[in-house]
Structure 1
Amino acid sequence: MGKMFASRGILVLAVLLVSLIGGQSESIPCKLKDEQHGKVCVCTADYCDYLESPVLTDENDWFLISSSKQGLRFSTTTDKFGKQEKITVQDYLEPTQDTANATILSRLLNKVVADAFTLESRESSITRTVSLRLDRSKSHQKMVGFGGSYTGAVEYLVDNFKRSELADHLYKSYYGEDGLGFNLMRVTIGGCDFDLEPWSYAEEDGDTLLSDMDELNAHDVKRVAQIKRLIEVSGVKNLLVKGAAWSSPPWMKTNNRWTGFGRLKRAYYQTWADYHLRWLRLMEDNGIPIWAISTGNEPLNGVFFMYFVKFMSLGWTPQTQAIWLNDHLGPTIRNSEFKDIILFGNDDQRYSFPHWFKMMNRTRPNSIDYLNGLSLHWYWDEIFGNSFIEQTTEYAPDKILIVSESCIGDKPWQAAAPLLGSWERAEKYARDYLSNIKLGFHGWIDWNICLDEMGGPNYVDNTVDAPVIVNTTTFEEFYKQPMFYAIGHFSKLVPEGSVRIDAVPSNVNLDSVAFLRPDNKIAAVLFNSGRADLDITLVDSVRGQFVINVPAKSIHTLLYS
């Protein structure tokens, strides 16, 4: 085994030297760090992990990306269809103390240590079996993409980074081709709870002319500049930005407050529609074209949940929102230069589906015809079942379905803060992504792309977790959580335009979803949430089959021609 380690180490060193000499992009492994709840990957201005997009040179090649509770983070395995022997994905093996204390270059070889020694450590493990049949002839929805949200909290943290290279790593980690390959982004129209204070445009009482909307608000100046930098350094080719407002200026509301039981005054229905149009022009003029807007964030917060929600909100009922959409917002947008923009409805929880849209149509017949899509927040998915979505797709079958907000830490029984290294939270993401994609959703936008160690900043202490956590003691590093990699197993190899195809496992040992990509390659997500290793016999209706063994508590993305 010592000779195997030495030879592999020399090979990796040679690859690194070739990379440095040739100046070509190479995959860079995660720099693992143990935290209270598991393992995170550390990024600094000088070092951050990336995974080159795989290149398949033969039609029988397959490529597998793997992450596990034990410590794999986008580890790779390659082989070919048609081989009789089983291929084993080797799980991460904790390095020895000598290795842990070695140089930075030695730490890059952690995966080599795992390759050399892990096989022996798994000989006595329990192994279950499953077959997974992929059928590209049975197709479903076309994917729009995946993304995260750029809030005031993100802007504040990035602005405090000691070196700009750290921000560039954050941007490339999410939106770069060698990162997660995101193409969607949600931004706030005005402020939200993840800001240092509530704010909007046109805050001066009675400013129906919206006189300050020709220029960026001071809150938006840095954020817009940062997003433009993100586009530049990540190389994202078609960034689709979705905007949503938490609240109008208080003077437009019945309670004249940012929060509480407050709805839009009827006298300002057209003004609020004009506000959205002016914001679209403002973003366009400042180099951020907008792909979509919604009718407002979580409309029930301002009419039913005002005793629990202390942050900015604007209350709507389906009846009042139907009037505003049908008589004001819809015509204003459709008769403007932004007539082709995507309009999303609801931006709230499952329990409001599909009744919200049915009641809108009762108030203003066919009012939801103005909507191209319906957006959902995931927070009560585990309480309210799939039937809410199934009834919605039956009622409105031609709408784009998108999850537009997700995070963990919002429930009374959850820690309202980051749990650094939590694999359990990564599994929650994986389960919900799989469930909603199989229900027909076309895309997913997570909440804040980064937060601090407390789960903020947030001006009402509405703290939660995030896939990336910034070390605010130094502002010189950030940590990629297991959640980051769980999301990436869906986003990285499933570009915009991919079409979901049938992926049917033979038993409950495996959960999976598969896609036919625009380049005619197949991408499949394989989730083994069990405590046993799993032999997967993958059977493709065209290509054939192979057998692969994956470790317990692991998630994988498969790519083949």
Structure 2
Amino acid sequence: MKRLIVSCFVVGLAFNANAQNYWKKNTGKTAKVFLTNSAANEKMVDKGTVKFEKFGQPKETDACIFVDPDFKYQKLIGIGGAITDASAETFYKLPKDKQKEIIEAYYGKNGLGYTVVRTNMNSCDFSSDSYTYVQENDNTLKSFNVAHDEKYKIPMIKEAQKLIGKDFTFYFSPWSPPAWMKSNKNMLKGGRLENAFYQTWADYYIKFIKEYEKRGINVWGLTVQNEPMATQSWESCIYSAEEEGEFLKNNLGPTLWKNGFKDKKVMIWDHNRDLIYQRATTTLGDPETSKYASGIGYHWYETWNNKTQLFDNLTETQRAFPDKFLAFTEGCKEQFDMSKIYEVSLGELYGRNMINDFNKGTALWTDWNVLLDETGGPNHVGNFCFAPIIADTKTGEVHYTYEYYYVGHVSKFVKPNARRIGTSSNRAALTSTTFMNENGQLVTVIMNDTDNIIDTNLWIEGMAAKLSAPAHSIQTVIL
């Protein structure tokens, strides 16, 4: 393995005016380091402390991560994952001790610190079958009943809620209205919501919110429609930007407000980064629509038609709508293969997306399924995928993939209401982001997805700590 050694020298002892701001208020000069290093099979290992020493103007030959606490950006709403039918069904097929292990691993005081839970309203691909909450053609919704969810999904959500406590942030997304409301008379394979059922469908959201809140699950928010431009073999429904806007302006938004749910955070789009700017500018261009929307949701699957993720589209969208938060609402590695669950590339996919998403202004970050079984399901249309935790329901064995640890390098240490801090790297091989928690604690995450070891410096206003970034590693530095 090639090792890149980049020497660092202290150049002068002077601090600039801004440099004194942080260090005057923070006398502690040591930081804790937690490392995941695939070559050494180390996973979120406590590596002790590093010391900050005076370090003036860096040279171009000095590899550095630059952090400036004087520059504060978006506030973090939270980080978490989806408790789908598949996740919950898998969870309750496991022995009680494994259930406790998994719920603690995500939401417990020694776990990843997840505070966000997303779920599906009506079935999605990660359900064992298609279902709705009403009887066929019941346009009065008198038969509305969430009994289906009480077997697996609601109990698991409540388990998570109990451990999360006051920071519990729960939202839902529909994949499809009931078939009889749609143009293709099928929950699957796209189709559109018929105009005649716009208000009935808006009322359906209200029923869902009330039934979940009746069971003690406070609903923080919702997305209008999951992936509104995708005709899938599973539950799906198509809306143009104009159609989504009309539904929100004339039906969903007013119905939420009329029922006392003005505080619920509505997110539009909920699809890939490729069209996010066009969708936002079109849907939110009308102030009468925009007033009902709090955020703009997105997924990471634009690589089906692009070689890389289109992170810059997030920047343009945030600039256009600084009053709306950006929310990553779903992402996973597709095409499940049990023989590949321990590959570090799974974690690097997450690390790359999380770091770039946050640096582009994202305030809410939600993984897809928190748990799947040994097939990458259950999934009633065979769309089997990876998840941070894979559980073998036949043997009871629980597998923690690198996805789990890479997400944890952010979620475990960065708390809700933390502010993102100005951060940059002078080496393309190192990606990094920084947050400041409400208690003033600085948390910097650094990822190296190359085959080389890179020695670097964490430079903060005239002082720096020497670090080493092993090949295919991620580390969190807490000051």
Q: TM-score, normalised by structure 2?
A: 0.88
Post-superposition shift, 1:510?
Answer: 1.8
Post-superposition shift, 1:538?
Answer: 1.7
AA paired with 1:517?
Answer: N
**Structure 2 residue 159 is the aligned partner of structure 1 residue 229:** yes
AA paired with 2:77?
Answer: V
Rounded to whole Å, the distance in 1 between the matches of 2:283 and 2:428 is 40
Alignment counterpart, residue 69 of structure 2, candidates 136, 140, 143 = 136
Post-superposition shift, 1:236?
Answer: 4.0
Deviations 1:401-453 (A, max 9, x none): 011001011xxxxx443421010121111111111111111121000011122
Alignment counterpart, residue 472 of structure 2, candidates 534, 553, 557 = 553
Q: Is the 8 A contact 1:350 1:380 kept in 2?
A: yes
**Structure 2 residue 404 is the aligned partner of structure 1 residue 484:** yes
**Structure 2 residue 192 is the aligned partner of structure 1 residue 263:** yes
Q: Is the 8 A contact 2:115 2:164 kept in 1?
A: no
Rounded to whole Å, the distance in 2 between the matches of 1:248 and 1:77 is 50
**Structure 2 residue 111 is the aligned partner of structure 1 residue 179:** yes
Where in structure 2 are the equivalents of 1:413-492 lying within 5 Å? 415-418=335-338, 419-474=340-395, 476-492=396-412
Deviations 1:502-521 (A, max 9, x none): 12223224211111111101
* Higher Rg of the two aligned structures: 1
Rounded to whole Å, the distance in 1 between the matches of 2:139 and 2:111 is 44
Secondary structure of the structure 2 residue equivalent to 1:237: helix
Q: Is the 8 A contact 2:298 2:327 kept in 1?
A: yes
Post-superposition shift, 1:541?
Answer: 1.8
Post-superposition shift, 1:170?
Answer: 0.7
Secondary structure of the structure 2 residue equivalent to 1:425: helix
**2:58 is matched with which residue?**
none
Rounded to whole Å, the distance in 2 between the matches of 1:481 and 1:80 is 28
AA paired with 2:477?
Answer: L
Alignment counterpart, residue 324 of structure 1, candidates 247, 259, 282 = 247
Aligned-residue identity in percent: 26
Q: Is the 8 A contact 2:50 2:466 kept in 1?
A: no
Where in structure 2 are the equivalents of 1:212-227 lying within 5 Å? 212-213=143-144, 215-227=145-157
**2:100 is matched with which residue?**
168
Alignment counterpart, residue 132 of structure 2, candidates 200, 213, 216 = 200
User: Relative to 1, partners in 2 of residues 1:533 and 1:392: Cα closer, same or farther, differing over 3 Å?
Assistant: same
Post-superposition shift, 1:83?
Answer: 6.3
Post-superposition shift, 1:298?
Answer: 0.8
Query: For structure 1, which runs of at least 5 residues remain unmatched after alignment?
Result: 1-56, 85-127, 410-414
User: Relative to 1, partners in 2 of residues 1:237 and 1:261: Cα closer, same or farther, differing over 3 Å?
Assistant: closer
**2:266 is matched with which residue?**
343
**1:123 is matched with which residue?**
none
**Structure 2 residue 3 is the aligned partner of structure 1 residue 74:** no
AA paired with 1:425?
Answer: L
AA paired with 1:447?
Answer: W
**1:119 is matched with which residue?**
none
Rounded to whole Å, the distance in 1 between the matches of 2:437 and 2:124 is 36
Rounded to whole Å, the distance in 2 between the matches of 1:140 and 1:447 is 26
**2:293 is matched with which residue?**
371
Q: TM-score, normalised by structure 1?
A: 0.76
Rounded to whole Å, the distance in 2 between the matches of 1:401 and 1:185 is 16
AA paired with 1:230?
Answer: A
Rounded to whole Å, the distance in 2 between the matches of 1:208 and 1:271 is 6
Post-superposition shift, 1:152?
Answer: 0.7
Count of residue pairs brought into register by the alignment:
443
Query: For structure 2, which runs of at least 5 residues remain unmatched after alignment?
Result: 1-25, 55-60
Where in structure 2 are the equivalents of 1:242-391 lying within 5 Å? 242-301=171-230, 306=231, 309-361=232-284, 366-380=288-302, 382-383=307-308, 385-391=310-316
RMSD over aligned Cα atoms: 2.0
**2:140 is matched with which residue?**
209
Rounded to whole Å, the distance in 2 between the matches of 1:482 and 1:261 is 34
AA paired with 1:386?
Answer: F
Deviations 1:339-370 (A, max 9, x none): 111000011111222212333356x5541221
